[in-house]
């Protein structure tokens, strides 16, 4: 086991620990998240001290004053760590701390196991053919499909009580709308009855029924239906990503010098996006940022349009999805700033670049102002996209309902007027426009993070944030 392997373990643990801490802080409380992070950090430091000690005692230079000193520091550090560990155990939730403590060892074990697996003959045979590999992945996904809902299922009594309580009113609400659903234009089945089996259904405005909500209503007691309904937006977002991946794969698997068919369409789209983004951010940075920004634009465009397809839903009509997209842009923009300025320069920028007494006195004021200005960007991005797409969905629901109501004076079965049709075309336009706006603004936020002189401002060689 080389030191490089340990470095990789450390990096993976840091990422896994950070993600785990955020998840725990969100779902189990901030102290639990902090405990997991502290446990993982403690364990990593301990691993580092052990590594130093082992290297000092067994390395080529062992016995020299420098290695003896290093060993002494490692032992002192371990003693301090154990004292800190005792303090942590007394102050923070112990189960989360233990999970954090165990994280590096879990990563170590998994990495060792994956090293063994990747070198094995079975693995090589599996990945030799893409179809065989796809079959294995599909099998794993199907297994997960069956296992995960089972694991997530609550105790039987509690679940039955909860679903019975919530399903009944939702079904009652769905019934009258369903009667008029089909005549109103097929795809928009039940404006009033989207949510069947979950708990937050009767609150707020309701959207059109989609495949998942219909399934959730049809199987109100099934764990898998509850799971699907709970993660509806994420599932649709992943489905769109899958469709885009397949399109990209099909378009690029056999590239021709003179493109035709799908390759032609995709190349035209990519080239158009490249020119568009390069026009804003400049040619020098286009190659670096177009893959991210272009993907973002196409992905959002498809997600926006997905809601127009019958029995589907726009993932971007969920604030969770749009906020996640905004967060990605925010993190990338901060990364650009951090890389450009360095850590100290970045903190200096956040403090307003104080260079004299007045500057330092204003620094405590400049820090929250800068942070608020940066935080406002992803929130404005996500709120704008969510508001527009959700509003577009609501507009369609309103006009479908109006179309049904306008013909309700006729006795018995009567088709509704398709009043939503003009707004479907409007939805096509706004979906495209909102994807473009999101992409343009993300590009602008990146542009604001880049040095000015890239665009010909020789007189302003300072960073975009330096004023």
Partner 1 sequence: MTDPPRPDRNDSGLRSAGLLLAIPTLLIVSPLVGFFLGGALDRWLKTSPWIGLVGLALGFVAAGRETQKIYRRYLNEEDRSKRR
Which residues in this chain contact partner 1 in the complex, by CB under 8 A? 255, 257, 275-276, 278-283, 365, 368-370, 372-373, 375-377, 379-380, 383-384, 437, 440-441, 443-445, 447-448, 452, 455-457, 460, 464-465, 467
Residue 317 Cβ vs partner 1, minimum distance, rounded to whole Å:
18
CB-wise, 170 or 281, nearer to partner 1?
281
Residue 457 Cβ vs partner 1, minimum distance, rounded to whole Å:
6
Joined tokens for residue 176: 């009258």
CB-wise, 189 or 273, nearer to partner 1?
273
Neighbour count for residue 59 (Cβ, 10 Å):
12
User: What Cα–Cα distance (Å) separates residue 459 from each residue in 349, 409, 451?
Assistant: 20, 72, 12
Nearest CA among 382, 376, 375, 389 for reference residue 326: 382
Residue 373 Cβ vs partner 1, minimum distance, rounded to whole Å:
4
Please calculate the CA angle 180-181-187 and round it to the nearest 5 degrees: 160
CB-wise, 355 or 467, nearer to partner 1?
467
Asked if 159 contacts 153 with a C-beta cutoff of 8 angstroms, the reply is yes
Residue 447 Cβ vs partner 1, minimum distance, rounded to whole Å:
7
CB-wise, 182 or 324, nearer to partner 1?
324
Task: Tell me how long the chain is.
Answer: 467
CB-wise, 161 or 375, nearer to partner 1?
375
CB-wise, 86 or 375, nearer to partner 1?
375
CB-wise, 60 or 459, nearer to partner 1?
459
Instruction: Give Dmax (Cα) for the chain.
Output: 100
Residue 375 Cβ vs partner 1, minimum distance, rounded to whole Å:
5
Which element (helix H / strand E) includes 417? Answer: none
Q: Which residues of 79-101 are buried (b: 16+ CB within 10 A; e: fewer)?
A: eebeeebeebbeebbeebbebbb
Asked if 297 contacts 436 with a C-beta cutoff of 8 angstroms, the reply is yes
Q: In sequence order, what DSSP letters do the residues of 125-192 get, joined into one string?
A: HHHHSHHHHHHHHHHHHHHHHHHHHHHHPPPHHHHHHHHHHHHHHHHHHHHHHHHTTGGGTSS---TT
CB-wise, 149 or 387, nearer to partner 1?
387
Residue 259 Cβ vs partner 1, minimum distance, rounded to whole Å:
10
Nearest CA among 311, 295, 196 for reference residue 245: 295
Residue 331 Cβ vs partner 1, minimum distance, rounded to whole Å:
17
**Which three-class secondary structure state does DSSP give residue 332?**
helix
Residue 460 Cβ vs partner 1, minimum distance, rounded to whole Å:
7
CB-wise, 43 or 388, nearer to partner 1?
388
Nearest CA among 303, 322, 308, 298 for reference residue 393: 308
CB-wise, 34 or 214, nearer to partner 1?
34
Instruction: Sort 55 into a burial class: Cβ within 10 Å, 0-12 / 13-18 / 19+.
Output: middle
Residue 382 Cβ vs partner 1, minimum distance, rounded to whole Å:
10
Rounded CA gap, 91 and 116, in Å?
39
Asked if 71 contacts 53 with a C-beta cutoff of 8 angstroms, the reply is yes
Residue 449 Cβ vs partner 1, minimum distance, rounded to whole Å:
11
């Amino acid at each position: 086991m080389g030191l490089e392997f340990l470095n990789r373990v450390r990096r993976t643990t840091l990422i896994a620990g950070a993600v785990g801490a955020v998840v725990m802080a969100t779902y189990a409380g901030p102290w639990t998240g902090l405990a997991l992070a502290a446990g993982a950090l403690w364990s990593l430091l301990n691993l580092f001290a052990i590594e130093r000690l082992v290297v000092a005692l067994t390395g080529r230079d062992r016995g020299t004053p420098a290695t003896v000193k290093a060993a002494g520091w490692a032992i002192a550090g371990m003693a301090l760590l154990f004292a800190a560990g005792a303090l942590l155990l007394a102050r923070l939730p112990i189960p989360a701390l233990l999970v954090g403590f165990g994280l590096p060892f879990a990563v170590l074990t998994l990495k060792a196991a994956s090293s063994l697996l990747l070198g094995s003959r079975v693995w090589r045979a599996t990945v030799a053919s893409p179809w065989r590999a796809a079959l294995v992945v599909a099998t794993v996904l199907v297994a997960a499909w069956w296992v995960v809902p089972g694991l997530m299922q609550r105790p039987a009594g509690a679940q039955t009580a909860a679903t019975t309580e919530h399903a009944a009113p939702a079904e009652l609400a769905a019934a009258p709308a369903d009667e008029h659903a089909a005549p109103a234009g097929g795809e928009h089945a039940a404006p009033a009855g989207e949510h069947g089996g979950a708990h937050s259904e009767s609150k707020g405005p309701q959207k059109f029924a989609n495949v998942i909500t219909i399934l959730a209503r049809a199987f109100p007691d099934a764990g898998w239906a509850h799971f699907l309904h709970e993660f509806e937006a994420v599932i649709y977002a992943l489905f769109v990503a899958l469709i885009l991946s397949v399109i990209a794969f099909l378009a690029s698997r056999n590239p021709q010098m003179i493109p035709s068919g799908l390759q032609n369409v995709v190349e035209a789209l990519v080239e158009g996006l490249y020119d568009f983004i390069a026009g804003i951010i400049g040619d020098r940075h286009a190659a670096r940022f177009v893959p991210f920004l272009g993907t973002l634009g196409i992905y959002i465009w498809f997600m926006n349009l997905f809601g127009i397809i019958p029995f589907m839903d726009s993932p971007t009509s969920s604030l969770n999805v749009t906020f996640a997209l905004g967060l990605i842009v925010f993190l990338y923009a901060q990364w650009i700033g951090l890389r450009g300025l360095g850590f100290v320069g970045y903190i200096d920028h956040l403090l307003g670049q104080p260079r004299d007494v007045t500057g330092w006195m204003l620094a405590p004021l400049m820090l929250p102002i800068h942070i608020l200005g940066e935080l406002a960007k992803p929130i404005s991005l996500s709120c704008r996209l969510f508001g527009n797409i959700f509003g577009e969905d609501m507009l369609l629901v309103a006009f479908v309902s109006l179309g049904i109501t306008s013909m309700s004076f006729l006795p018995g079965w009567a088709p509704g007027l398709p009043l939503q049709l003009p707004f479907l075309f409007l939805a096509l336009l706004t979906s495209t426009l909102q994807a473009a706006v999101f992409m343009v603004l993300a590009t602008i936020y990146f542009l604001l993070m880049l040095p000015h002189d890239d665009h010909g401002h020789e007189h302003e060689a300072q960073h975009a944030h330096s004023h």
